[in-house]
Amino acid sequence: MKKILVLNGPNLNMLGKREPEIYGAATLDEINNSLKQKAGSMGLMLDFCQSNHEGDLLDRIQKLDGEYDGAVLNAGAFTHTSIALRDAVLATSVPVVEVHLSDPAARERYRRRSYLSGAAKGVVSGFGARSYELALYWFAVS
């Protein structure tokens, strides 16, 4: 069974309250519980981490090797600002799939640049909470 870390960045702990017209009404706990239920049938075991602190996210990415078979990363606003997260993703041998609930390309100009996309194995965006499921599906079939 593959072990996958689902890693969420800043403000994602506010899902359900923060701009539900953009991010949906589901809380992060609800999304994680749904993913946990579906993971078993995909042959995946999941761990979850959310942090509002860039250094915490960096530490988790740097520890992927030897502990996980992959990671699903929604870096939130750090997607558009953090070269450090990009460098950490490039440094790991573990595949990382970038995920977004909304479609950054259809949003404000400053959200259209992702420092992570070129480092990630792939990107899934614009499908709400299903973006996470689609990323997990890739791990299940790869």
Q: In this structure, are residues 8 and 60 in contact, taking their beta carbons and an 8 Å threshold?
A: no
Mean pLDDT score, 57-63? 98
Provide the β-strand partners of residue 97: 72, 122
Report helix angle 54-62 to 83-91, nearest 10: 10
Structure tokens at 37: 């239920």
Catalytic residue check, 53: no
Residues in the chain: 142
Using one digit for the tens of pLDDT, what is the confidence trace for 3-23?
Answer: 999 999 999 999 999 878 878
Catalytic residue check, 100: yes
Give me the domain span that covers residue 42.
2-141
CATH code (residue 46) = 3.40.50.9100
Average pLDDT of the chain to the nearest whole number: 94
Annotated catalytic residue, options 68, 100, 115, 132: 100
The number of folded domains in the chain is: 1
Using one digit for the tens of pLDDT, what is the confidence trace for 125-140?
Answer: 999 999 999 999 999 9
Annotated catalytic residue, options 23, 68, 115, 132: 23
Using one digit for the tens of pLDDT, what is the confidence trace for 62-85?
Answer: 999 999 999 999 999 999 999 999
